[in-house]
Chains A and B, each alone.
Chain A
Amino acid sequence: MQNPILSSRKTLYYYAGIWIIVILFHVFLLYYSGNVSPAEAISDAIITNLLFAAIGLGLWFPIFFGKSDEEKFVNTIINNIVGAIVAVSFWVGLDYFLLSSFLHGRYDYIGFLKNSIPWRTGIGFLYYEVIILVYYLMIYYRNNKENQLKEAELKALVKESELNSLKSQINPHFLFNSLNSISSLTMTQPEKAQEMIIKLSEFLRYTTSNKDEKLTTLEEEISNINRYLDIEKIRFGRRMQLKQSVEESCRHMKIPGLILQPLLENAVKYGVYESIDESVIEIICNCNSTALSVVVRNQWDPEFQLNKGEGVGLKNIRSRLRILYNRDDLFKIRKDSRTFEVNIVFPQS
């Protein structure tokens, strides 16, 4: 990381400007105290302050590279005190050496120089602390800006994944096939066609209106997936067999809205769509006071699966859980050559 003062022309001008002011102030102070000549005052001010200006730039490195996030406050203090002692003694020593060789023979001045060493040391500590403070402020400011940027990125990511999960929720082929089934039912069983239209409408209403709500109850989610499964059941008849076991006490538990539906869509897609014979889909919900567990299990034949990777639907669920609960271990897939099982745990706070 580059020294922030050197990183742009503007900050470098500020730094130089401040030191010029300090030098002028230094000259006037020495001159009006009456003991030194103008030439001596100017030489003293320039050498003394340029020296610290250079040391000040160098101080960036021990500060930036010696700094770690978990460093304890006490350590920081000790480091700074040691740094100050080293830097200030170096500065005072070098300053004395340079001034006494540059202005050698001017005994009055040398006498003044010797007497002023305690003063110079004090001012050195002051300079040191001011510069360190500026550096810390700069680091803090930049970290803050980085954090804000990260936060904005995270927000964008959440939005995107919400959008993705919504997009994946209404599968157009499901919709068109259902409409085709309804079209067929209107000719043979109009009441059943009507029933299916109502189920489909309720299902669409739920999937399109619930998006803002973060959490809902298991009850709500289960009734939504039942609407979906009822529709698929009308399409596939005996090919689709359902087993549900939902503990009564779990029904009021909190669960993110629309999270189960892509799961069931997945189960139907890989279980029922790809099966010639009966295919069983199981939903099992258990809970205790701290967590709700939902298992969705379907039969499948991995031989006939084309895409081996995790589908978009499951990926979306995984990332939603990560964002909502900030945990990676809530979503588990277990599969063998006959069954595919997803287990999700929803912590209850």
Chain B
Amino acid sequence: MEPVKALIIDDEQLARDLIRNYLHSYPDVQIIGEVENGFEGARQIAELKPDLVFLDIQMPKLNGFEMLELTENPPEIIFITAHNDFAIRAFEMNAVDYLLKPYSRERLIAAVQKAADRIRSGNIRENKIERLLQQPLTEKLERVVVKTGTKIKVIPVDRIIYLEAQDDYIMVYTDEGKHLKQGTMKYYEDHLDESKFIRVHRSYIVRIDQVVQLEPYAKDNYIMKLKNGAALKISRSGLKNLKEKFNF
């Protein structure tokens, strides 16, 4: 049987060493690489195409969840972290297992076994990105990760001017340009802070403090002017949202 190809992503050398040493004499897993941050992780997953990733959550700049967001067809994931507060989110993303540091060799082997079973049974992989984007987040989004070419950009939500739906993608407009990103309007409507953002149209979510004025342009129709000069069409339900929010 082919061993499972695994990649280690953790920002601490000793934590990576531990995984390696625990699995040293375990024939079912072959460690094909290790990286120390999320940017590198996203790149190596695309390049090495591992079956399994050991993933830390708290890492500099780009955390484990954000890295996964950037990954198309992500492999099986075993989260290994000192934080116990992300377990629900991890399992909602269909993670194989969630290990709390420090952990025993037996615990790691059990997790790896579970992963190997999943990989070999040839389960039709769900599109985990879909799942990630639809999971009920309890906390509000604080930043959005986008990829332009090979570059990865982390945009704090306070930099977003508005979002526009484009088929299966979202165009994110910021003060310094626009970025295309996978996702649905529903996801951003649910997960952006509603005190800062409002949905004004099937295709638009706007940051409230960017709005300059509303102008009527036909019967029952309005155009919204933004600080950056953009003019967006407001739908009837969008107008209703605005009226509810601002009581006019």
Contacts and interface: CB of A to CB of B under 8 A. Distances in A.
B13 A274 contact: no
Interface residues of A, number: 26
Given A187-B21, A276-B37, A180 B143 contact: no
A144 interface: no
A43 interface: no
Given A173-B82, A173-B83, A276-B60, A188 B100 contact: no
A184 B61 contact: no
What bracket does the count of chain B residues touching chain A fall in? 20 to 34
Most chain B beta carbons < 10 A, residue from A184, A237, A239: A184
B17 interface: yes
A179 interface: yes
A177 B57 CA distance: 12
Nearest to A181: B14
B142 interface: yes
A54 B37 CA distance: 84
A47 B57 CA distance: 88
Interface in B16-69: 17-18, 21, 36-37, 39, 58, 60-61
B18 A304 contact: no
A273 B58 contact: yes
Nearest to A192: B14
A58 B60 CA distance: 72
Interface of chain B, main secondary structure = loop
A134 interface: no
A303 B60 contact: no
Given A276-B61, A304-B61, A177 B17 contact: no
A234 B14 contact: yes
Contact of A180 (B39, B82, B142): B82
Interface of A: 172-173, 176-177, 179-185, 187-188, 234-237, 239, 273-276, 301, 303-304, 306
The 9 tightest CB contacts between A and B, nearest first, are: A184-B18, A180-B101, A176-B82, A184-B14, A180-B102, A181-B14, A183-B102, A179-B102, A187-B21
11 contacts: A172-B82, A177-B15, A180-B18, A180-B82, A180-B103, A181-B15, A187-B21, A236-B11, A275-B60, A304-B154, A306-B156
